[in-house]
Amino acid sequence: MMVALELVQAAQELTGIVAALEVTQDAHALDGTMAAQEPAVAKNDLKNPVNCLITGDLVTNIETEASGTEGGKVTLQCSYSTANSYAYLYWYRKYPNQAMEYILYKGARSGRGTNNIAAFAQKRFSSIAEEEFTTLTISTLALSDSAIYYCALRPTSLKSSRTLNKKLSRHRSQR
């Protein structure tokens, strides 16, 4: 059985500046403050794709599509650019009609060695955070992994990005 994943990248500032995400048919914006481990996030649907550049920090997707099967593994990847020496890369997922779910964060550059992972993700989710990119690997794929995945950079204000469709059946799943 195929599993559907979609990756959307965003970056968000601690002060809660809205992060705009460019999506092919709709856009989702993140707002709220970012807590130390599990940030509060709200969803707003926008009718048109949005490009917003507030500072020089940027998060972008690496590839446009990937696929995997149940029991297999898939790696999602985002590149980022920031002048800040401390970079913290966050991963979230969102199921239709549900709140954003925190997966993990990992420090890079001077923040290397700091990390946190949600209890549900400890056995099958892993991440690498390097100087200019981050990955999220999901092993032993299950149908329940079908979701929209978000990659975010902290600290920053936001940046323009676009969707990355990791599709294995349809872009968004039924949970």
* Residue 171 included in any domain: no
CATH of the domain at 67: 2.60.40.10
Please report, rounded to a whole number, the percentage of residues in the chain having pLDDT higher than 70: 52
Q: Which domain does 25 fall in, by range?
A: 5-166
Looking at residue 119, what DSSP letter applies? G
Query: Domain for residue 174, yes or no?
Result: no
- Of 89-93, 104-108, 128-132, 167-171, the one with minimum mean pLDDT is 167-171
Tell me, yes or no, whether 175 lies in a domain: no
Half-sphere exposure (CA, 13 Å, Cβ side) for 3? Answer: 19
Mean pLDDT, rounded, for 23-40: 31
Residue 151, Cβ density class (10 Å: 0-12 exposed, 13-18 middle, ≥19 buried) = buried
Output the pLDDT for position 5: 63
**Residue 27 falls inside a structural domain:** yes
Instruction: Tell me if 172 is assigned to some domain.
Output: no
Tokens of 88: 């913290």
Residue 9 banded pLDDT, cuts 50, 70, 90: low
Predicted local distance difference test score (pLDDT) of residue 65:
59
Long-range contacts of 24-27 (CB under 8 A, 24+ apart): 24/49, 24/162, 24/163
pLDDT number for residue 99 = 92
DSSP conformation letters of 56-103 = S-EEEES-SEE--BTTS-EEEEEEEE-S-SEEEEEEEEE-TTS--EEE
The answer to whether 134 and 89 are in contact (CB under 8 A) is yes
Q: For residue 150, what pLDDT is reported?
A: 86
Q: Kindly indicate the confidence band of residue 125, based on its pLDDT and cuts at 50, 70 and 90.
A: very high
Residue 131 lies in a domain: yes
Q: What is the mean pLDDT of the chain?
A: 66
pLDDT tens for 127-163 read: 999 988 999 999 999 989 888 888 888 864 333 233 3
pLDDT score recorded for residue 137: 95
Count how many domains the chain has: 1
End-to-end Cα distance, the chain? 14
Burial 62-72 (b: 16+ CB within 10 A, else e): beeebebeeee
